[in-house]
Structure 1
Amino acid sequence: MSEKQRVTRKNSTPLKVYCLPEERELIESNARQAGLSVACFLREVGQGYQVNGVMDYEYVRELVRVNGDLGRLGGLLKLWLTDDVRTAHFGAATILSLLGRIEATQEEMSQVLKSVVQPRARS
């Protein structure tokens, strides 16, 4: 097939969808949440594809923060395990407290991940 005869979306007949202003706003909002243009969003949904949204940067920032906390706590634990002089005053209670904070931070990360993975309720 020559270059001039090639079928593309640009030279195909468009579909028209009439909708109310609030319907248009909802479609545009859903497309934005999915990180797609309105045309691509409607084409994907119209062909039966499940559109997956992009993760919120807020959740990503939160996960980075929690991961940093885990890194710092792990560093403290590693320092103690190497019998470093700076940690000579660490007792069993301090280490148990540190392990408890690591577990709590892991639980916090788990909760953030669940909120990202589970679908949000429609408002």
Structure 2
Amino acid sequence: MTDDKKKEIVRGTRPRRERIEVWVTTEEKAELVERAAMAGLSQSAYMLAAGMNHPIRSVLDLRAVGELGKVNGDLGRVAGLLKLWLAEKRGQGARPTDVEAMMRDFRKLQDELTGIMGRAVRGY
């Protein structure tokens, strides 16, 4: 078949006319299939991304970022409830300076979590 007559496959937005074959062992194929699944990509898309040296992010990494986001939100809610409780029970329990120090620590932790999530999403 000549180059002019090659079958054109259109998937996504780009027509593809070329194919590359890669010979692998059974174990290598199993690992590539597993890695593609972990990245949430088809085998073809995974191999193309790897071959073009594009970052490949694991679906698990993105799930972890989602979980960190939930923890960050929970931390904010706990800090808000603590502040509300202390405002209603003024003078009973912790000293205001201790409360302010704890609130600063909560905010610092939230900032750190946000930074970690940002780096994970960008692929460091």
Q: Distance in 2 between matches of 1:107 and 1:96?
A: 17
2:34 maps to 29
Query: Number of aligned pairs?
Result: 110
Stretches of structure 2 lacking an aligned partner (at least 5 in a row)? 1-6
1:106 maps to 110
CA RMSD, aligned part only? 3.7
1:67 maps to 73
The one-letter amino acid of 2:100's match is L
Q: CA deviation at 1:98?
A: 2.4
Q: Does 1:52 align with 2:52?
A: no
Alpha-carbon distance change, 52 to 25 in structure 1, aligned in 2, over 3 angstroms: same
1:87 maps to 89
Deviations 1:61-101 (A, max 9, x none): 13311321123203433x37xx94x1312532441342254
| Conserved? CA contact 1:34–1:51, under 8 Å | no
| Conserved? CA contact 2:68–2:117, under 8 Å | no
**Structure with a larger share of its residues in helix:** 2
Q: CA deviation at 1:41?
A: 1.3
Stretches of structure 1 lacking an aligned partner (at least 5 in a row)? 1-5
| Conserved? CA contact 2:62–2:121, under 8 Å | no
| Conserved? CA contact 2:55–2:123, under 8 Å | no
Q: Distance in 2 between matches of 1:105 and 1:42?
A: 38
1:40 maps to 45
| Conserved? CA contact 2:36–2:46, under 8 Å | yes
Q: Does 1:8 align with 2:9?
A: yes
TM-score of the superposition, structure 2-length normalised? 0.59
